[in-house]
Amino acid sequence: MANEVKVPTLGESVTEATIGEWLKKPGEAVALDEPIASLETDKVAVEVPATVAGVMGEYKAEVGDTVEVGAVIATIEEGSANAGPEDTKERKESKESPAPSPTPAPAASSSDDSKVDPSATLSPAVRRAVLEHGIDPSTVKGTGKDGRLTKEDVLEAAKNKKSGGDASQGQQASGGEAPAAGPGRKVERVKMTRLRQTIAKRLKSAQDTAALLTTFNDVDMSAVIEARSQYKDLFAKKHDIRLGFMSFFAKAACLALKDVPSVNAQIEGDEILYHDFVDLSVAVSAPNGLVVPVVRNIEEMSFSEIELAIANYGKKAKDGTLTMDDMKGGTFTISNGGVFGSLMSTPIINPPQSAVLGLHRIEERPVAVNGEVVIKPMMYIALSYDHRIIDGREAVTALKIIKDAIEDPMRILIDL
């Protein structure tokens, strides 16, 4: 008996997804609740669990297909894994019409069981590595399950390519006709992931809809660096988490948003919604794009609670286990481009929010202090905001409050 596997409910307002990867092949044993497929939604990757135990049947959709909530994407047959894909198909043929459609399984070629169709089996992390390093996945032997490529396989191939071990160069050299272009000039067409498409649409929509403006300031990080240096070991021992810069900036932002509530507000129709809480969206890097999970009621949290929450989201983003609830809402965003070496940027707001704080790298620079030039660890900070709801005076004031709190962390403690 064939049991249908349907696209599960994906979250509020999410009605469709894209097949990102099949985790089980037809004929393989499947345990109850074992993931059989990965779906890419507008915000996160979602695994589809097996509804029953048995043998993986046929795929009803291919990698890259868009499927709606409730749509049947595969079947699971009753039986054991000893019955291969042919047996599964024969059982299905005996129950249905004599001419069923072929199974669109992304299986290996019958002439070479060690290779699989790369376009059908690349995970988001592997696809990103392939693009970054310019590797042709069809030339790399996968070491993952069922011969799938892993990120490590791609990185090793990139290393060999740099050292002159690219097999494709040797093939070109032995050919009878000279190549039209020089070595390394490749163009590869890869479909954008649903998440990347959504990021592109949302950022463009923010530019088209909001009246965006950015104000800048610079911050002397000496006090925070000194505080971290003095208390980092005790903090880590007591709370089992590293004391980072983000908790300081989160707390400083709460002071600013309390004093300048429009920066924590949003437009809804012809009304302005003011929030007496701060649900902080923290931009973190995931294998298939930037995501912004939300730390809720951050104004009530301690430094250790903030650091633990952010670290947990970072791990979930890396593992691809963020949920829709993790991403929902948010009243203000902090994006730290400094971890990638950015000196200055103009971040784009995360609609329907009205402002975003951009952090950048810490760099020792000469500054004037009491008429003397001294070297200080400085950071440029930027506040991008929607000028429809936030006046320039309010934006500058909010950023100045953040600057003052970072340069004198005692302000955070005494709520000044």
Catalytic residue among 42, 386, 387, 404: 387
User: Are 85 and 93 a contacting pair, CB within 8 Å?
Assistant: no
- Using alpha carbons, select from 330, 406, 356 the residue that is nearest to residue 206: 356
Catalytic residue among 87, 391, 408, 415: 391
**Residue linked to tokens 């302000």:** 411
Distances in whole angstroms, Cα of residue 368 to Cα of each of 84, 216, 344 = 76, 19, 21
Annotation says 391 is catalytic: yes
SS (H, E, C) the chain: CEEEEECCCCCCCCCEEEEEEECCCCCCEECCCCEEEEEECCCCEEEEECCCCEEEEEECCCCCCEEECCCEEEEEECCCCCCCHHHHHHHHHHHCCCCCCCCCCCCCCCCCCCCCCHHHHCCHHHHHHHHHHCCCHHHCCCCCHHHCCCHHHHHHHHHHHHCCCCHHHHHHHHCCCCCCCCCCCCCCCCCCCHHHHHHHHHHHHHHHHCCEEEEEEEEECHHHHHHHHHHHHHHHHHHCCCCCCHHHHHHHHHHHHHHCHHHHCEEECCEEECCCCCCEEECEEECCEEECCEECCHHHCCHHHHHHHHHHHHHHHHHCCCCHHHHCCCCEEEEEHHHHCCCCCCCCCCCCCCEEEEECCCEEEEEEECCEEEEEEEEEEEEEEECCCCCHHHHHHHHHHHHHHHHCCHHHHCCC
Beta-carbon count within 10 A of 391 CB = 12
User: Are 282 and 308 a contacting pair, CB within 8 Å?
Assistant: no
Residues with active-site annotation: 387, 391
